[in-house]
């Protein structure tokens, strides 16, 4: 039966209302988890605070387990969910550029928005930077285009592409997540504390 | 007042926050068939602004024109409404915890000016990277991983992997 709006179980007119409500929940959880603080976010790269890894990994595993359970129980049809197209090199190089941006600014776009909401001026400057970045990309699109449109692999999941069993894959991902939580707790105890 | 002052930096348990965030991603897919996002709204804002200031230029540009349609504004977009929600949600959470106030947050070892330059530069890079990688940490990495998308795992590994590789060069800003 699900997803509900594409299958018109909930009328399409509700789409934008639901967008705002989901956004409010998203922003509330991000801010309450401390993601409005760039110094807390950057901690994941220096070992003094692993909140990013814990929140991010827990969320991904929870959502993946939940979606496959709902598919199994017939509440949602996984085949109808959006899977983003994979452009191998665009994804890798784009991700690498984002990684440098992340460590430079200490924010990613979603977390910066919650920081803007509580008045962080550095986050406002960061959002202006993102818009300048989008502008540069669009104006210089002819340079980026071959990379942007090249090495296209389709809208693939690990199930389609590697033939992985999704249940074992998610189980493996969960084990990796729990191990990562355990190891990062050990690392954090050995790293010099940073107060922020 | 004194209590809120003391509690300004007390945040949720990360596993609790992560679990709730996972439920939000799940709910979003269940409702809309798609995941969350953030950088897409900033792209829409730029496209809308260029379309107003220089409409012919926007139509002739191969990138802007992908996101312009005759019948509706680029700002009439699911992610734009979701981002407005993020701002409201962040404000409510920050307000309840007494964290609202104009501030430039930076390490005591660097100046305010340096922090702002690096924030601007990081934003520009993230803006370019999020276009090339077709989404940011929320849209490409988190939502992608939730449906086991190959692109989601590539984004996650590339963003955080590069972050760790580059961390050494930016250490003065943070530790």
Tokens linked to B34: 């798609």
Contact B90 A25 (CB under 8 A): no
Residue B8, pLDDT score? 62
The model's pLDDT over B60-100, given as tens digits with 9 standing for 90+, comes to 999 999 999 988 899 999 999 999 999 999 999 999 999 99
Does A118 sit within 8 Å of B91, measured CB to CB?
Answer: yes
Taking CA atoms, what residue in B is nearest to A103? Answer: B163
Domain boundaries, chain A: 85-154
Give the pLDDT mean for B110-129: 97
In tens, the pLDDT along A37-55 reads 999 999 999 999 999 999 9
pLDDT of B4 above 70: no
Residues 6+ apart with CB under 8 A from B90: A27, A28, A30, A31, A36, A113, A114, A115, A116, A117, A118
Handedness of CA A113, A114, A115, A121 (dihedral sign): positive
Contacting residues for A160 by C-beta, under 8 A, at least 6 apart = A154
CB contact under 8 A, A81 and B147: yes
Structure tokens at B7: 């509690």
Q: Where are the alpha helices (DSSP H) in B133-149?
A: 143-146
DSSP E strands in chain A: the ranges are 86-87, 152-154
Domain ranges in chain B? 103-175
pLDDT (0 to 100) of residue B70: 85
Q: How far is A34 from chain B (nearest CA, A)?
A: 5
Supply the pLDDT for residue A193: 86
Q: Could you check whether the bond before residue A3 is cis, i.e. omega within 30 degrees of 0?
A: yes
Mean pLDDT of B127-132: 97
Residue B5's pLDDT is 52
Q: Does B106 touch chain A (CB under 8 A)?
A: yes
Q: Is the pTM of this model over 0.80?
A: yes
Which pLDDT score is estimated for B6? 53
Q: In this model, does residue B158 exceed pLDDT 50?
A: yes
Q: Which CA distances in Å does B168 have to A46, A72, A106, B116?
A: 9, 45, 14, 20
Q: Which of A26, A144, A172 to mutate to test the interface with B (most CBs of B within 10 A)?
A: A26
Interface confidence, given as ipTM, is: 0.96
Which residue numbers in chain A have pLDDT < 50? none
Identify whether the C-beta of residue B83 lies closer than 8 Å to the C-beta of residue A113.
Answer: yes
Q: Rounded mean pLDDT of B109-122?
A: 96
Q: Which of B136, B106, B165 is nearest to A120 (CA)?
A: B106
Q: Which residue's structure tokens are 């509580």?
A: A118
Q: What's the whole-number average pLDDT of chain B? A: 93
């Amino acid at each position: 039966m699900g997803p509900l709006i594409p299958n018109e179980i909930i009328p399409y007119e509700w789409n934008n209302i639901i967008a705002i409500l989901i956004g409010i929940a998203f922003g509330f959880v991000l801010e309450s988890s401390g993601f409005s603080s760039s110094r807390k976010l950057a901690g994941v790269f220096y070992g003094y605070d692993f909140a990013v890894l814990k929140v991010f990994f827990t969320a991904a595993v929870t959502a993946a387990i939940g979606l496959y359970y709902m598919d199994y129980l017939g509440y949602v049809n996984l085949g109808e969910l959006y899977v983003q197209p994979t452009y191998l090199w665009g994804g890798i190089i784009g991700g690498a550029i984002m990684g440098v941006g992340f460590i430079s600014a200490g924010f990613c776009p979603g977390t910066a928005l919650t920081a803007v909401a509580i008045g962080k001026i550095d986050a406002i400057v960061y959002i202006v930077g993102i818009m300048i970045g989008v502008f540069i990309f669009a104006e210089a699109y002819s340079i980026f285009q071959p990379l942007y449109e090249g090495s296209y692999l389709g809208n693939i999941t690990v199930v389609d592409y590697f033939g992985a069993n999704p249940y074992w894959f998610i189980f493996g991902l969960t084990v990796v997540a729990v191990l990562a939580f355990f190891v990062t707790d050990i690392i954090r105890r050995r790293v010099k504390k940073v107060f922020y | 007042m004194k209590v809120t002052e003391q509690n300004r930096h007390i945040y949720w348990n990360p596993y609790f926050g992560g679990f709730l965030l996972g439920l939000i991603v799940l709910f979003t897919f269940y409702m809309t068939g798609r995941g969350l996002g953030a950088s897409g709204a900033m792209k829409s804002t730029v496209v809308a602004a260029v379309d107003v200031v220089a409409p012919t230029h926007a139509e002739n540009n191969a990138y802007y024109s992908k996101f312009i349609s005759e019948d509706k504004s680029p700002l009439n977009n699911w992610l734009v409404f979701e981002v407005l929600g993020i701002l409201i949600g962040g404000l409510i959470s920050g307000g309840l915890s007494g964290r609202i106030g104009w501030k430039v947050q930076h390490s005591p070892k660097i100046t305010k000016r340096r922090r702002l330059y690096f924030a601007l530069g990081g934003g520009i890079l993230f803006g370019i990277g999020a276009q090339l990688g077709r989404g940011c940490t929320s849209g490409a990495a988190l939502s992608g991983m939730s449906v086991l998308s190959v692109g989601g795992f590539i984004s996650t590994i590339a963003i955080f992997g590069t972050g760790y590789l580059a961390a050494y060069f930016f250490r003065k800003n943070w530790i």
